[in-house]
Structure 1
């Protein structure tokens, strides 16, 4: 089956689209990436998404306008990737505005998590004239899970296994890790693991936007960070914060690592040169990943033999150098080397999740999200 996958991440920089052919066993499919495309959000739309996602007050009418604009950009990316309409099915993540993991109330009552991926599913199905699977997190959240990350189980299916534990790191707005058990030996029966480590590009991008007065949305290639020196003492203090001490399952987003969090960290660095501040934020993103990997040894968990890196942050050379420096003993390389394009990987995941929905195959993993049991993910809507 040919499936179109659409992904717009927490960086809110645009939509990645892929056309994938999938066949064979659900848990170990044969896949071919036929085509990919990326479509940037217009600057004004990105600013609206980030403002609403950071809690800026708005009207119901404005939210409806925003959801329609997001949906139409998703449709435009789909047409750009698949102009002939080859796909039989579309999997679309939507645009995350807010994510709240399960938590306990002041009275001790356990509250279910909730997550908002803005999209008008029926409108997208109508614009593309094909069935759309969307709202992938809701079922896992209803089962008491985190609703995220959803990519680890799909990563394992797409990448397959090797002789030892394999780690895949996605550097989007948030850094998330997947740990895939080996194909042989006693650990082959272990479950796939995965969790959100903390910020990857979110704080760096917001800082660059603030320092450049909106002229730059990211530190292109990590050039500014390369000119500065990071504050190691400050990074060590930040690593002691509550989220980084949590054990998986755990998930997060801009609600925790957004503008308010950046403001606090910039106050900690007040008086330092801008290049030093960007260097510290970049090194911090690498340090949260390294700390989580080092904790595996404390849990008597074998360390992975390699770390594959995907996502926009893999193009930040300074961030990659920091990962290399801090994740000692790991072979670090981009996922592109295994023919899993860094930029397209998450869109491919949502194509696979849509195909799994079509097959009735569960898309979540309780060992990762903490849900009560496995479930088929997503809601299907057909064109009218």
Structure 2
């Protein structure tokens, strides 16, 4: 079956679309990636998405226009990726504008902005969306949703395999080994914290909006990270939580950047960006050390994906801080770094069609497994 996956992440840089085919057993499908396309958001739309994700008040009319604009870019990405309309089913994550994990007995909630009936109408194919809802009503975090799909797409190796997505937020998937005592252990995963979100906002701050991200880590390479503040930041509450845990721009957005820049006390632009670049690597290294201490799990390799995997300064920081791990890109395993999450949502749509669960209770904290997503058909 041909499925199209659409993913627009916390970085709010646009929509990744993947056309893929799936066959065989649900848990370990035979798959092939047929095409990948990135559709950038227009600058004004990107700015609105970032503002919405940081809680900026907007009139109802603007929210409506924002939902329509996001949906139209999703449709454009789908058409560019699949011009011959081969996909029988579309899996669309939508654009996250707010995420509230469960806390102190209160249920979690998450808003992925999309007008799914409009998207189904524009593409004249069924659309599966709202993937987080079922996990949330079962008491889960609703995120991350990639771990089960990662395990199905990439398979196992001799030891624990860690996959690190470096989007706006960094999240980890831990896939158990194919043999040995841990082979029956559940897939693990969680949101580590910020990856590109603070770096990108920092670049906009220091360049007056001229540079939306640190291309090639050029500015970070000119600076020196403040290790003292990094070590202090690592002690903050979120980074001490045990999984399940999830987060987003509502926690690591402009207000958080302003606080950290104030703490850095007038650091140069290069030093501040270097510190914000080293910080995610330090968070990941600490999370992996906590995992080793609490569960005795130590991965033998760390596979990176997402936009941050193209930042050599961030990758060098990971290599330096995560000693003993073989570091590589997901492209080596046949999944282009920029296509991984869109491929996941193509698979989640196929799993919805097959009635196969997509969440992992050990990851999200949900009471049980669930088939994810809601399907809408063209009008």
TM-score, structure 2 as length reference: 0.99
Aligned to 2:135: 140
The match for 1:346 among 341, 346, 356 is 341
The match for 2:374 among 363, 368, 379 is 379
- 1:377, distance to aligned residue in structure 2 (A): 0.4
Aligned to 2:188: 193
The match for 1:125 among 116, 120, 126 is 120
Aligned to 1:160: 155
How far apart are the structure 2 equivalents of 1:32 and 1:52? 35
Gaps of 5+ in 1: 105-109
How far apart are the structure 2 equivalents of 1:296 and 1:136? 27
How far apart are the structure 1 equivalents of 2:112 and 2:183? 34
The match for 2:355 among 327, 351, 360 is 360
Map Cα deviations across residues 196-251 of structure 1 (whole Å, 9 max, x no partner).
00000000000101111111110001110011000101100000000000000000
How far apart are the structure 1 equivalents of 2:58 and 2:231? 38
How far apart are the structure 1 equivalents of 2:149 and 2:296? 22
Matched, 1:90 2:90: yes
Superposition pairs of residues 224-239 of structure 1, within 5 angstroms: 224-239=219-234
- 1:272, distance to aligned residue in structure 2 (A): 1.3
How far apart are the structure 2 equivalents of 1:269 and 1:367? 37
Matched position secondary structure for 1:226: helix
CA RMSD of aligned residues (A): 0.6
How far apart are the structure 1 equivalents of 2:258 and 2:376? 41
Matched position secondary structure for 1:186: coil
Matched position secondary structure for 2:39: strand
Matched position secondary structure for 2:31: strand
Map Cα deviations across residues 350-383 of structure 1 (whole Å, 9 max, x no partner).
0000000000001111000000101100000000
TM-score, structure 1 as length reference: 0.98
Aligned to 2:53: 53
Please, which moves more after superposition, 111-120 or 49-58?
49-58
Matched position secondary structure for 1:28: coil
Aligned to 1:184: 179
- 1:57, distance to aligned residue in structure 2 (A): 1.2
Matched, 1:278 2:282: no
How far apart are the structure 1 equivalents of 2:374 and 2:7? 16
Aligned to 1:221: 216
Gaps of 5+ in 2: none
Matched position secondary structure for 2:219: helix
Map Cα deviations across residues 300-337 of structure 1 (whole Å, 9 max, x no partner).
42310100000000000100000000000000011101
Aligned to 1:107: none
Matched position secondary structure for 1:96: strand
The match for 1:317 among 304, 312, 315 is 312
How far apart are the structure 2 equivalents of 1:51 and 1:340? 31
How far apart are the structure 2 equivalents of 1:314 and 1:231? 22
Matched position secondary structure for 2:24: strand
